[in-house]
Amino acid sequence: MRARAVVWRGTRLGVLIGAWPAGIAGVLCLVAAFVFLTGGLYATARALTAAAAFAVLGSLAVGVTVGTATGLALALAPRWLLARPLLRGLLAALTAGLPIAALLVVFLTPDGYTLASYPPSTHFVGAAVIVTIALVAAARSGEIAGHDADDRTP
């Protein structure tokens, strides 16, 4: 039962991780679709509406997957590692951050493109997203693993 609760708390964190970009991307795409719809560009409005749906569903799916993987990693970790906040946070950060980094590389390098094909701003935004997700997972690792109260004792 304990492992299931840890995985469930990780999944909840994943929903929160995925909900922020889903909401932002979805709202931006829908606002742009409305602007194009009022301008009479119906095909562009439909494409932006589809992009909004893809962004929301994709972001939530990735968030839930990363959160579940983080919860599973913390559920399978030995007790001595979970008792040390630094190691537990590092495990959670790596479990959440590395798949996002790999996914970013996969999305940026189709059809012969390389990472050097993109401007530095793309890499900055990508790195900021990866670091943010990793830090959130590390900060919440105690809550996910069920070791909140232990971290406050000296």
Tally of CB atoms within 10 A around 81? 13
Using the structure block, give the residue that is written with the tokens 């039962």.
1
- How much is the mean pLDDT over the chain? 88
Contact partners, residue 12, CB within 8 Å, separation at least 6: 67
Q: How confident is the model at residue 8 (pLDDT cuts 50, 70, 90)?
A: very high
Return the CA Rg of the chain. 19
| 101: amino acid identity, one letter | A
- The domain ranges of the chain are 2-151
Tell me the average pLDDT across 78-106.
92
- How does pLDDT run across 37-51, given as a tens digit for each residue? 898 889 999 998 998
| Cβ atoms of residues 18 and 62 within 8 Å | yes
Name the pTM for this structure.
0.81
- How does pLDDT run across 139-149, given as a tens digit for each residue? 999 889 887 65
